[in-house]
Amino acid sequence: MKQNLQDYVLLDRLSELGEVDPRPMFGGFGLFLEGQFFGLVVGGQAYFKAWPQTLPRYEGLGMQPFQPSPTTRLKTYYQVPPEVARDPRQLCEWARESWQGFR
């Protein structure tokens, strides 16, 4: 999977979080903040770590876990709804919740 312009747009929208460290992963970027892997940007889609308290929101909106191959799913990283991904403020809020789950 090739990185596309939308991947870079999503990365730019996350700039309010601070020093997000994008690392090549799964044909896109793994997202790290203060050393914690909290999300992915692949193929123009953002996926964030879902915690027990946030998972129902992802599932309730019909979001699916990240599937890097036909036989593999990362069951704790869920697609961010498109309307959230388009809004930098909401995107950063959801990303912050994902990252803060490690604390």
Give the residue extent of every domain in the chain: 5-80
In this model, does residue 98 exceed pLDDT 80?
Answer: yes
Q: Under DSSP, is residue 75 helix (H, G, I), strand (E, B) or coil?
A: strand
**pLDDT attached to residue 58:** 97
CATH 1.10.3720.10 fits 5-80, yes or no: no
In this model, does residue 7 exceed pLDDT 70?
Answer: yes
78-92 pLDDT, tens per residue? Answer: 999 999 999 999 999
Arithmetic mean of pLDDT, 12-17: 90
Whether the full predicted model's pTM is greater than 0.85, yes or no, is yes
**pLDDT attached to residue 3:** 55
In this model, does residue 69 exceed pLDDT 70?
Answer: yes
Whole-angstrom Cα distance, residue 98 to residue 6? 21
17-59 pLDDT, tens per residue? Answer: 989 999 999 988 999 999 999 999 998 899 999 999 999 999 9
**pLDDT attached to residue 1:** 42
> Which residues, including other chains, have CB under 8 Å from residue 66's CB and lie 6 or more apart?
26, 40, 42, 47, 73, 74, 77, 78, 79
